């Protein structure tokens, strides 16, 4: 269970967070290791073409360069001059590699990193941020399962409705039920990738942030939500997935719950098709039982 204390420390610099204790630090580190392994097995070198119930579609890439930030590792800070002694003494590193390679090096030397943080009572990692971010990543699955929805997020609507500013520029929020009391939904903010030379947006979406809002209402209020109907996974081979009957039922129930709870406009133009599919499944199941 994620506590409010953990959530409150997510956006704090590592050196300003209290050391959580050896057990918590080790558990958070294991979460990080598991998340990177999951990324390598399920996300790396894959592209996801997702079709939504409102008829729109988008392509999502989870790039290695974004993984540090996604999982709560402050690459920018750890590659600063201040951490040169840490990089040299603990990682035997005298040149700064790309963020993904740096993350892999941290994992390879995780015992030494944990010992370093223990001696300094928390400095390299914000373990609370790492625990929360990796928990979100873990829950979002590998997008081969239809367990998530998408908010076509309008930042101006958010600001006008809440009176709050928001630093994120995410254009879509992927959400999944968290089964957490303090943050009922985990979210992934995505935005269109930019060409590094021209800084113009390209068609592919990339991950900007993972977060677990306690003020869930603010992220649904006045926004437009949809659910996935088809996912195309593109790597060396192409895999086309469609929701099973049970996944459709779960998605419909989740969508209806959000529409009713947060007062969203119901824009699901496939609702009838989904229900027809489910009715057919129920009829076939009933006939099978009678036999």
pLDDT tens sequence across 102-147: 999 999 999 999 999 999 988 999 999 999 999 999 998 777 788 8
- The length of the chain, given as a count of residues: 291
In angstroms, the Cα distances linking 13 to 67, 88, 136 are 18, 22, 20
Chain centroid to CA 53: 21
Chain centroid to CA 36: 13
Q: What is the percent of the chain with per-residue pLDDT over 90, rounded to a whole number?
A: 67
Question: Phi/psi of residue 265, each to 5°?
Answer: -75, 130
What's the whole-number average pLDDT of the chain? Answer: 88
**Which one, of 267, 176, 184, lies nearest residue 225 by Cα?**
267
pLDDT tens sequence across 59-111: 999 999 999 999 999 999 999 999 999 999 999 999 999 999 999 999 999 99
Q: What DSSP element (H or E) covers 36?
A: helix 22-38
Question: Phi/psi of residue 233, each to 5°?
Answer: -100, 120
Given a contact cutoff of 8 angstroms between Cβ atoms, the answer to whether 148 and 140 are in contact is yes
Q: Mean of the pLDDT values across residues 177-200?
A: 86
Given a contact cutoff of 8 angstroms between Cβ atoms, the answer to whether 105 and 99 are in contact is no
The model carries a pTM of 0.88
């Amino acid at each position: 269970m994620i506590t409010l204390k953990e959530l409150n420390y997510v956006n704090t610099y590592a050196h300003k967070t209290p050391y959580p204790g050896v057990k918590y630090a080790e558990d958070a580190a294991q979460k990080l290791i598991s998340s990177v392994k999951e990324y390598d097995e399920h996300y790396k070198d894959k592209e996801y073409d997702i079709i939504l119930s409102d008829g729109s579609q988008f392509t999502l890439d989870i790039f290695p360069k974004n993984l540090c930030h996604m999982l709560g590792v402050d690459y920018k800070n750890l590659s600063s001059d201040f951490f040169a002694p840490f990089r040299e003494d603990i990682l035997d590193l005298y040149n700064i590699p790309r963020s993904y390679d740096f993350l892999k090096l941290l994992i390879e030397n995780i015992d030494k990193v944990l010992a370093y943080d223990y001696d300094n009572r928390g400095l390299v990692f914000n373990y609370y941020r790492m625990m929360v971010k990796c928990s979100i990543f873990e829950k979002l699955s590998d997008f081969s399962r239809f367990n998530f929805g998408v908010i076509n997020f309008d930042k101006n609507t958010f600001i006008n409705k809440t009176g709050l500013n928001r630093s994120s520029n995410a254009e879509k929020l992927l959400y999944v039920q968290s089964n957490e009391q303090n943050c009922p939904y985990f979210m992934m903010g995505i935005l269109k990738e930019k060409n590094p030379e021209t800084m113009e947006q390209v068609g592919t979406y990339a991950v900007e942030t993972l977060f677990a809002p306690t003020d869930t209402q603010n992220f649904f209020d006045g926004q437009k939500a949809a659910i996935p109907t088809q996912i195309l996974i593109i790597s060396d081979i192409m895999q086309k997935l469609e929701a099973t009957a049970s996944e459709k039922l779960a998605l419909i129930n989740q969508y209806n719950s959000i529409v009713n709870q947060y007062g969203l406009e119901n824009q699901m133009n496939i609702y009838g098709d989904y229900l027809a599919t489910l009715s057919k499944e129920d009829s076939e199941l009933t006939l099978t039982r009678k036999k």
